[in-house]
Amino acid sequence: MRKILMSRIITNSLSVGENFARRGIGVDTRCKLCNNDSMVMETMEHLFRDCPVSRRLWATSDIGIRAENGSHLPVGRWIMDWIYYLDKQERSAERVVMFLAMIWCLWSVRNRVLFQEINFHPNMFFSQWNQIVTMADKALEMKSSASTMNESSDMGSQDDQVAWIRESKPFCVVGSISDCDHVRIMVDAEWKTVDNAGIGWVVLSSTAVQAEGLGIYGAMKWAVDQGLRHLEVSSDCLSLICSLAGIQKAHHCLADILADVDDIVSFFHCLAFSYIPRSYNKFGHDLACEAMYS
């Protein structure tokens, strides 16, 4: 989803006030972060870089960027130049992650202010930003450890590797799943051939990857229809969960599905995706099999 956001920024297709006005859509086009202090139209440049609120967030964050540097550039170019600098000049994957997390959180918090009609507070922003950076750091550590394991002659048992992955907590993309009551959906798919697949999900309190993606999207749509706004979605498809979390490049067959998922993210007050082994997803798996053969 974060890759989809970046694509929409670069192609100037994000749903900001300027683009609504260009299409003649009668909505409030003012900046949602400095709405009470300014009549400035919400453009992508303003939201992500030029807004006084955004600049204070950039300056006071751990990454410590002076957002006004390069303010003459389109925001897409400005973002790419910063990524290049952090990656090539500072050679810091961690700071690239921190930078991208800032972009995502500015968009996410803007949507929360707009759709949930709440007042902006810096703590709201940095709480989500710290959570994303922490999860990304853990993913980088897991990747490094997995690489070390692959180079070792003793890879350990499959159970040991599964236990390692199970240590990950849900990857929240909206809000925090730990500070609210939420519904958990266990998702699975059974796939044999192109025209023979089944998907299923079970609601709990507290190719094949394409079928899994359709299952998650279908479950999320159902949750929206039921008015569920605090949601954790679990699946035993690790590559899909990593793609949804923005940790791993998505398979090309998931592009449209991930775009559809991104379109309904704003309906949730908090939303998380988590990985579970197949042995912990028996109900979802059984339903998927039943759907395929019924």
Q: Where are the domains of the chain?
A: 1-154, 156-294
Question: pLDDT digits over 96-118, tens only?
Answer: 889 999 999 999 999 988 888 88
- CA 260, 262, 264, 268 torsion-angle sign: positive
Contact, 5 vs 132, CB < 8 A? no
Per-residue pLDDT, 208: 75
Distance CA 172, CA 180 (A): 12
CA-based nearest residue to 225, from 233, 217, 213: 217
Please state which of the ranges 65-69, 83-87, 214-218, 244-248 shows the lowest mean pLDDT.
244-248
Contact, 242 vs 274, CB < 8 A? no
Long-range contacts of 14-18 (CB under 8 A, 24+ apart): 14/44, 14/107, 16/42, 16/43, 16/44, 16/47, 17/41, 17/42, 17/43, 18/42, 18/43, 18/44
> What's the pTM?
0.51
Q: Helix axis angle, 2-10 relative to 255-264, nearest 10°?
A: 90
Q: How confident is the model at residue 217 (pLDDT cuts 50, 70, 90)?
A: confident
Q: How confident is the model at residue 186 (pLDDT cuts 50, 70, 90)?
A: confident
Q: Which residue has the tokens 């197949």?
A: 278
Q: How confident is the model at residue 58 (pLDDT cuts 50, 70, 90)?
A: very high
| Average of per-residue pLDDT across 8-35 | 86
What are the angstrom distances between the C-alpha of 99 and each of 59, 60, 132? 12, 13, 11
Tell whether domain 156-294 is in CATH 3.30.420.10: yes
- Helical segments of the chain, H only: 2-10, 17-22, 44-45, 52-60, 75-84, 93-115, 122-151, 158-166, 208-225, 238-244, 255-264, 282-293
| Average of per-residue pLDDT across 197-223 | 75
Per-residue pLDDT, 152: 46
